[in-house]
Amino acid sequence: MLNYQSYLEQLTESADGSYPLINPHTKEEIERISECSDEQMKQAINQANQAFETLRRMTAHERSQILDRASEVVHHYKEFFAETIAKEAGKPLKYALGEVDRTVETLKFSAIEARKLEGESIPLDAAPNGAGRDAYTIFEPIGVVGAITPFNFPLNLVVHKVGPAIAAGNTIIVKPAEKTPLSSILLREALIEAGLPELALIVITGDGPRLGKVLLDSEQIKKVTFTGSPEVGRTIKSQAGLKKVTLELGNNSALYIDHSQEQRLEDIAQQAVTGSFSYNGQVCISTQRIYVHQKIADPFIQLFKKKTKELIYGNPLDSTTDISNLIDETSQNRLLEWIAEAKELGASVVTGGKSYEGGLEPTVLVNVSPEAKIYKEEAFGPVVIVNTVQDGEEALESMNHSQYGLNAGIFTNDMKQALQFGHKLNVGQVLINDLPTLRFDHMPYGGRKNSGYGYEGVKYAIQEMVNRKMISLNYSF
C-alpha cells in the first residue's frame, strides 16, 4: 500500500520545524509538513548527483520499463491519488480523478519517449573541406534537474517534469508547492515501487524562495524547470545563471465565438462553463476572456448564465461537486476587489460576484473595460468576462491585447478565418473549434510573452533536459 507518512517522517528528522497542511475547503489539518532545512536540500542535491551515475548507466529500455510500471501503479491507486489531490488542493473529485488519468498517460508517454531519443546524421561533406567524414548526434542526460511546481495540478504537473527527466536518464529534485506536497510524495513512492532507485527522485518540502535559492545556487543542478506565477518565474530566471531553464507561467486565455456558431451555441456554452470553472478557474489555461460576435452575443450570454448557475457547490470529496473553496482567502479577496473595480469601470455582473462560505460564486461579467485588472491580469479563479465584438477582426485584436500568450481558441465554420487566427494569434497554442482550456499531455506546450520560456509536453520537455553531442568520424586519410 502506498503512503506518504513514512517519507514525511523521514524528512522530519533534520528539518527546521514543520507547518500544518490545511484542507482548503474544510479548513481541517491533514498532516504536518516538514520545513526542510537548507542543509537537507544540499544533501538531497548531493545524493541525486550520486544517483545520476546509476541512472545514466541504465538503458533506455530499463528506464522505459520503470515509467511504464509506474503508470500501472498510479492507475492501481487511482482513488487514493485522487482523494489526496481533493484534500490537499481542494480540487473536486471529478477533476482530481481526471488529473490522475492524465498522470497515467503522461507516464506512458514518458516511457514511449524514453525509447525514441534519436539523433541525426550530418552530411559534413556539405562544407567545402568536409569530405571523408561521417557525423551523427547523440543525446546525453544532463545530470540533476531541479523542479519547482505549483499547487493547482499537484500530481500531473509534477509528472510533466519527473517523467521526462527519468526518460532522459537524469535524476530530479522536486520542490512542490507548500500547500500541496503530498501528491508528489505519493508519485515518488509509485516510481520507487516501479523500480526507480530511491535517490533518483527526491522531494524536498518547505518554503519556495529559500529552498529555491539553494537549488539555484548549486553548481550540481544543471537544469531548473518551473511551473508557477510569472513573478516567481522572473526571479528564478534571474537567479539561474548558465543553467538551462524552462518556465511555464500564467495566462488569461481568450476565446472567440464567431456568428457561424449560431446552431452550436448550446454545446459551446456548456463547454465554456467547463473551461471557465473547472477547479474553480484555478487552471493556467482557464477560459477567462470570451469574445462573442454581436449577432449571437445575447443568446450566448443567456445560455452561459443558465449553465453557470447549475454548477453545484460542495465538498471536493463529494462526487457531485463542481465548485468548492478557493485555495486560500487571499485569492478570494483579490477577486472580489477585481470584480468591484471592473464594475466601477462599467462592467455588469450577469451572475455571481459574491462570496459565500469560503468560496466565490462562479461569476460572469459583461462589457469589461480592457483597463480592468480582471481583463489584464490572470484571474486564476471562477471569474470570466464576456465581451461583444463587431467582427472577427476586433476579436483578434482584443485577444492579442494581453501581456500573456499561452493558449487561445476560436469556434468558427469559416476556414479562412480559422487559418488567419491560427497564424495571427500571438500565443504558443491555437485551438480551432476547441476551448483554449485544452491540453493533451504529449502536445508541445509553451507560452510567449509573460506566459513562459521553453516547452513542455513530454517529448519537448525531454529535448530541454539533454545535451546534444556530435561525433564525427574521419575516414579521409
Site residues for ligand NAD per CB under 6 A:
148-153, 157, 175-178, 208-209, 212, 227-229, 232, 235-236, 248-250, 284, 378, 380, 406, 447, 452
Rounded-to-5 percentages of helix, strand, coil across the chain: 45, 20, 35
- From the CB of 334, what's the least distance to ligand NAD, in Å? 12
Question: Which of 258, 275, 319 has the alpha carbon at shortest distance from 96?
Answer: 319
- Residue 24 or 176: the one with the smaller Cβ distance to ligand NAD is 176
Reading phi first (left if > 0) and then psi (alpha if -120 to 50, else beta), residue 228 is in: left
In this structure, the strands spanning 363-366 and 348-351 are antiparallel
- Could you tell me the smallest distance in angstroms from the CB atom of residue 152 to ligand NAD? 5
Minimum CB separation of residue 450 from ligand NAD in Å reads 10
Between 72 and 178, name the residue whose CB sits nearer to ligand NAD.
178
Query: How far apart are the C-alpha atoms of 353 and 335, rounded to whole Å?
Result: 9
The active-site residue, picked from 248, 378, 456, 464, is: 248
Nearer to ligand NAD, 229 or 367 (CB): 229
Q: How far is the CB of 51 from ligand NAD (least distance, A)?
A: 22
- Closest separation in Å from C-beta 1 to ligand NAD: 27
| R_g (Cα) of the chain, nearest Å | 23
The residue type found at 157 is L
Nearest CB to ligand NAD, comparing residues 62 and 178: 178
∠ at Cα 165 (159, 171), nearest 5°? 110
Cβ-based nearer residue to ligand NAD, 284 or 435: 284
- The nearer residue to ligand NAD, 25 or 439, going by C-beta atoms, is 439
Q: Please give the Cα distance from 113 to 107 (Å, whole number).
A: 10
Report, in Å, the least distance between residue 250 CB and ligand NAD: 3
* Helix ranges (DSSP H) in 152-264: 156-168, 182-193, 208-217, 230-239
Active site residue 284: yes
Cβ closest to ligand NAD, residue 90 vs residue 208? 208
The minimum distance between CB 373 and ligand NAD, in angstroms, equals: 14
Q: Which residues pair with 404 in a beta bridge?
A: 449
Of the candidates 26, 24, 20, the one whose C-alpha atom is nearest the C-alpha of residue 328 is 24
Provide the pairing of β-strand 407-411 with 254-257: parallel
- Given 35, 88, 284, 456, which residue is catalytic? 284
| Residues tagged active-site | 248, 284
